[in-house]
Structure 1
Amino acid sequence: MSQRFERLTGETVFRGRIFDVVRERFQFEDGEIVERENVVHGGAVAVVAYDDASLYLVRQPREIVGRSDILEICAGRLDQPGESPQECARRELAEELGLAADAWEHATTYFTSVGFSNEELHVFFATGLVEVERPENDEEDERIEVVRWPLDELDAAIDATTDAKTLIGLLLFRRARESG
């Protein structure tokens, strides 16, 4: 069975502030035509911010799952024209945590859910943290609680996490700490 395909058509059926939904048709080499409803997303970043004593995490209402107690790493959308993933990560760190970092390391880039979305997420580690004034962000209506989690309780943070980007970021961080 051939895995090669080409896109035949696409129609945007929903245009939103965060993503679009597109109904697309694809044809495989063997002639089969399939239709998919896909989420088109501009991409995002996530930041594992830490110092010698703490991880810096957030909690905020996540209305879609009916909860406000989900522990997360700092994250945000690539929504500024021409902004690189690392520039976006710097901006999000300041907006969400009121921090800037001296040292940045790209941990990984992955697709969040390839079954229906093209969202690509770039994960960074940030250290050498200093407090900065949080910039005003008129477009966001976030209610963020900053959580300083003891670094020596990293496994407990992982256990307390149900958010995928946070699990990926913290597990990669644990692996990096163990190997380095």
Structure 2
Amino acid sequence: MDTYEEKTLTSTEIYKGKIISLRIEEVELPNGKTAQRELIKHPGAVAILAITSDEKIVLVEQFRKALDRSLVEIPAGKIEPGEDPKTTAIRELEEETGYSASEFTYIQSFATSPGFADEIIHLYLARGLKKVENPAAGDDDEFINLLESTIVEAEEMMTSTKIYDAKTAFAILYAKKLLPN
């Protein structure tokens, strides 16, 4: 048992959307008092650190309404119900970039915002990239610009906040171990 565990007393779903749901949970704190927690439930996602044969990182640029601006990110996507994360990674790489990969290696999983959300992202390394002749279509509401960047260029994008999300920053730091400057 976790020393600081919060026991759920009640749980009420406030909103259920296409991707997320919001719950209000009343919890008993370790000191016996109660508190409310606003929790986002998410099915989980994958992210792909795709590296080309000439040691460039495949990135996508897209508008993110939550921040009201475009970001440069590694390809990523939501896990469908019952889908294995590796299968999601293979599908998302093709849909977002038009690439397939001969090697998919699991790197690590991590929580994105554990203070209020249960989303876990599974990060994969994709190598042996090959352009797919007729790639699977992406989401109808997703508009993506494909980029390829050296590790130095990616770090510059982090400094300038073009790369601004945690999954991509995590992947770029991981890529520093793999790629030449």
Q: What TM-score does the superposition give when structure 1 sets the normalisation length?
A: 0.88
Distance 1:103-1:40 versus aligned 2 partners, 3 A rule: same
Name the residue aligned to 1:110: 110
Q: How does 1:92-111 map to 2 (within 5 A)?
A: 92-111=92-111
Name the residue aligned to 2:63: 61
Greater displacement, 26-35 / 43-52: 26-35
Distance 1:154-1:5 versus aligned 2 partners, 3 A rule: closer
Unmatched 5+ stretches in structure 1:
none
Give the letter for the 1:116 counterpart: F
**Which of the residues 155, 161, 167 maps onto 2:163?**
161
Give the letter for the 1:66 counterpart: D
CA distance in 1, matches of 2:152, 2:39: 41
- The alignment partner of 2:69 has SS state of coil
Residue deviations 1:119-176 (CA, integer Å, cap 9, x gap): 0011111010011122134x54100110122356443344342121110111112134
Question: Do the aligned residues in 1 keep the contact of 2:40 with 2:118 (CA within 8 Å)?
Answer: yes
CA distance in 1, matches of 2:158, 2:31: 45
Question: Do the aligned residues in 1 keep the contact of 2:47 with 2:89 (CA within 8 Å)?
Answer: yes
- Please provide the CA RMSD for this pair: 1.8
Q: What TM-score does the superposition give when structure 2 sets the normalisation length?
A: 0.88
The aligned length equals: 174
Would you tell me which structure has more helix in proportion to its own residues?
1
Residue deviations 1:35-79 (CA, integer Å, cap 9, x gap): 1111000101100101232211000111222212x1100000012
Give the letter for the 2:165 counterpart: D
CA distance in 2, matches of 1:145, 1:177: 23
Runs of 4+ in 1 over 2 A off after TM superposition: 150-160, 175-178
Distance 1:39-1:145 versus aligned 2 partners, 3 A rule: same
CA distance in 2, matches of 1:115, 1:16: 20
Unmatched 5+ stretches in structure 2:
none
CA distance in 2, matches of 1:92, 1:106: 15
